[in-house]
Amino acid sequence: MKHRILLVLFAALLLVLVFGACAERHVYGDWIDETLATCTENGFRGHYHCEHCGKNFTVEKIEISDEELVIPATGHAWDNGAVTTPATCTEDGTKTYTCTNPNCGKTKTETIPAGHTFGEWIPGTEATASTPGEKGHYHCSVCEKDFGEDKQTELTDIVIPPLNHTYGPKNGEIPATCTEDGKRAYYVCTCCGKFFDETFTEVAEADLTIPSPGHNPEWIVDKTATCTEVGSKHQVCTVCGETLQTQEIPMEDHELIGWVEKQEANCGYCGKAAHDECKKCHQYFDQNGNKLDTIDIAEEPATGAHVYGEWIVDKTATCTEVGSKHQVCTVCGETLQTQEIPMEDHELIGWVEKQEANCGYCGKAAHDECKKCHQYFDQNGNKLDTIDIAEEPATGAHVYGEWIAEKPATNDEVGHVGHYHCDVCGKNFDKDHNEIDNIVTTVWSPLV
């Protein structure tokens, strides 16, 4: 019993700690920004949320219920819509509406029912002995068709024939073709054999004729004519496709380049007869326009003796690489021979004695240098891979010389700061032997 009482007291204490923790002070946490409502989803007002008791509060720390936090969804705001597919007499159309709310832009569609556009009911008229009548009907102003009272049954013929003839069945129209006449729709009285048109007006049979329009011809080239072959073409009707006739296309004229006089035989070619040549077919012709099978003159064979032209340099020789050249025949253009061009001599600048190592450079061997290729050579003309003497590294010790006093700048002349100057590497240093990048000074002068 005592244990049960202790458990009850402990549970009560926990309830007090949990639900009574906010009795004196809430733990609000960070401000939760407002979430705007959309067309389809609710939003939420900005608020604080107590992490202990789970309640919500306004910016003034006033408690607010969950229901009051909700910003209801706005719902779509549809525009007046636009017809995207117009309806016809027999097929439905479509109208599209767009939501005008910011950041939405969603659409919905609505069916536009198909349907005929009828005017008022057109009453029927009775036929007489000589005058046709007309059945009562609705008329669609869009598709121009006629319908019965139910607006569903299409009437293909609303004419009531006159009463004094006994009309046989309607004879449908026979369209004219390119070669045969056609015939308009008509009726024949079974009693008297007279002919009547679709309005039951009496006509002569000849007046029902639809004259044949004849063929609509068009030429089609089957083979293009050239200056060596005739061409061909045929004529077809663009309506019925019948081939009407075929014709030969005459050969074109030759397009001559220009008269070439007789050419004497040379090293590579035999003699050539005087001729003209067609630019298109490359056949040869004499002065009378007669075709020549060949312009080669068999009795004047090629001489075989070439005429050597000047040497043509292909690669110029340098002091490090040989060159090359070739010689061609000035008559036939054949390459006759090729030769190597020897390397040029080196153009030495002048002998340089051995240089001792200094502050910036290792020792340098005595040498000469080529002005053109910048390679080094010893006294015997042997090429040196390097003039650096590895056993005599740079000393790193500058030769400062005397202190050079400061020279103030003037309006007419630049000055310099006081410094030491190394006669070996040419660098400048301050009194503490720190290197100076720039020793020049100037006088500042304002713009006038």
Query: What is the spatial distance between Cα 116 and Cα 137, in angstroms, rounded to a whole number?
Result: 13
Asked if residue 331 is part of any domain, the answer here is yes
70 and 88 together in one domain: no
Domain boundary (205, 227, 249) is at 249
Dihedral, CA of residue 214, residue 215, residue 216 and residue 221, to nearest 10? -160
Query: What is the spatial distance between Cα 189 and Cα 161, in angstroms, rounded to a whole number?
Result: 11
71 and 34 together in one domain: yes
Asked if residue 8 is part of any domain, the answer here is no
Asked if residue 141 is part of any domain, the answer here is no
35 and 58 together in one domain: yes
52 and 33 together in one domain: yes
Residue 249 CA to its chain's centroid (Å)? 44
420 and 446 together in one domain: yes
Domain that holds residue 440: 399-448
Q: What is the pLDDT along the chain (448 residues), one digit of tens a residue?
A: 445 555 555 655 544 444 444 555 888 888 988 888 888 888 899 888 898 888 998 888 888 988 888 889 888 899 998 999 998 988 999 999 999 988 888 999 999 998 888 889 999 888 876 678 888 999 998 888 999 889 888 888 888 877 778 888 999 999 999 999 999 999 999 878 889 998 888 899 999 999 999 999 999 999 999 999 999 999 999 999 999 999 999 999 999 999 999 988 888 788 899 999 999 999 999 999 999 999 998 888 888 788 889 999 999 999 999 999 999 988 888 898 999 999 999 999 999 998 888 887 788 889 999 999 999 999 998 999 998 888 888 887 888 888 999 999 998 899 999 999 988 888 899 998 898 999 998 886 554 4
Asked if residue 277 is part of any domain, the answer here is no
Asked if residue 93 is part of any domain, the answer here is yes
Question: What is the pLDDT, as a whole number, of residue 446?
Answer: 55
Asked if residue 225 is part of any domain, the answer here is yes
The beta-strand segments (E) located in 142-275 are: 146-147, 154-155, 159-160, 182-183, 187-188, 195-196, 202-203, 209-210, 217-223, 231-237, 243-249, 271-272
Number of domains in the chain: 5
Asked if residue 61 is part of any domain, the answer here is yes
Whole-structure pTM value:
0.35
404 and 445 together in one domain: yes
Question: What is the pLDDT, as a whole number, of residue 20?
Answer: 45
Question: What is the pLDDT, as a whole number, of residue 10?
Answer: 60
413 and 448 together in one domain: yes
Domain boundary (65, 92, 112) is at 112
Asked if residue 292 is part of any domain, the answer here is no
Query: What is the spatial distance between Cα 112 and Cα 116, in angstroms, rounded to a whole number?
Result: 12
